[in-house]
Amino acid sequence: MHVGLISYTPDPEGVIAAAARISVSNVSALDLKEKQTPERVAGLLKYLLSAGHLSPFEHASFTFAIDGISRVTSHQLVRHRLASYTQQSQRYVSFKKLDFVTPNTIAAKPDWLAKYNEAVQNAHRLYCEMLDAGIPAEDARYILPNAAETRLVMTMNARELMNAAGLRLCLRAQWEIIQLFDYVKREVEKVAPLIAEQLQAKCYRLGYCDERESCGLFPTRQ
């Protein structure tokens, strides 16, 4: 799995702060953005977060190249609807070589790993044979496993990143999407450390665990 930032709103935290201030100011946001110090931006973001005023965080967006996740995880990921995705197509791309993801619970057991690898290779061999026999890639791919890797470009604004990370960095999420959002967080850290700090399991914001059972990090509400 590899996650890289392709592009993002420059000075994302400054943009959020300037936008937030327009609601209580009578000068242009252009001027507000000019005349703010990093300290003031940091203080304002802290206030917005504590007061649950999250809408200004929508004004900063981040675009990621995500490569080498399984179709298991891409299917989960695109369920976040307040974001934009462009995904590699299994209809239009033929995979002469199949890259695939192996869960640790399988990789850790040599016997199962061997069977797993063999089964993936068998499926891929049949896929290639069907392609050679003239069956369209869009149909041959029905035999490919969930483990098959995919690539996509994802754009998410900071508010939705906080929401999605809140759900996907919870230990009840699956390991692969946890790892994905860990990488996403690392990329955001390079350019927007105050936002990256907020990319954390939802319990940190709530102050309690709202799942059926807690992982131990925070108690449930009772």
Calpha distance 145→114 (Å, rounded): 16
Of 14-22, 37-45, 178-186, 187-195: span binding a copy of itself (CB under 8 A)? 14-22
- How many chain residues bind a copy of itself (CB under 8 A)? 99
Q: 112: which residues sit within 8 A by CB, 6+ positions away?
A: 106
Instruction: Find the binding residues for a copy of itself in span 139-158 (CB under 8 A).
Output: 139-148, 151-153, 155, 157
Contact 27, 17 (CB under 8 A): no
CB 172 within 8 A of CB 214: no
From 37-45, 52-60, 178-186, 191-199, give the range in contact with a copy of itself by CB under 8 A. 52-60
Q: Does the footprint of a copy of itself cover residue 181 (CB under 8 A)?
A: no
Known active-site residue 168: yes
Binding of a copy of itself by 113 (CB under 8 A):
no
Whose CA is closest to 48, among 192, 193, 198? 198
**From CA 166, how far away is CA 145, in angstroms rounded?**
29
The catalytic residue among 81, 125, 168, 172 is 168
Q: Shortest distance, CB of residue 211 to a copy of itself, whole angstroms?
A: 6
Name which position in 41, 44, 69, 74 contacts a copy of itself (CB under 8 A): 74
Please give the Cα distance from 159 to 132 (Å, whole number).
Answer: 47
Amino acid at position 161, single letter: L
Binding characters for a copy of itself, 76-105, by CB under 8 A (x = yes):
--xx-xx-xxxxxxxxxx-x----xxxx-x
- Only one of the segments 20-28, 35-43, 178-186, 188-196 lies at the binding site for a copy of itself (rule: CB under 8 A); that segment is 20-28
**Nearest residue (CB) to a copy of itself, 207 versus 216:** 207
Please, what is the end-to-end C-alpha distance for the chain in angstroms?
38
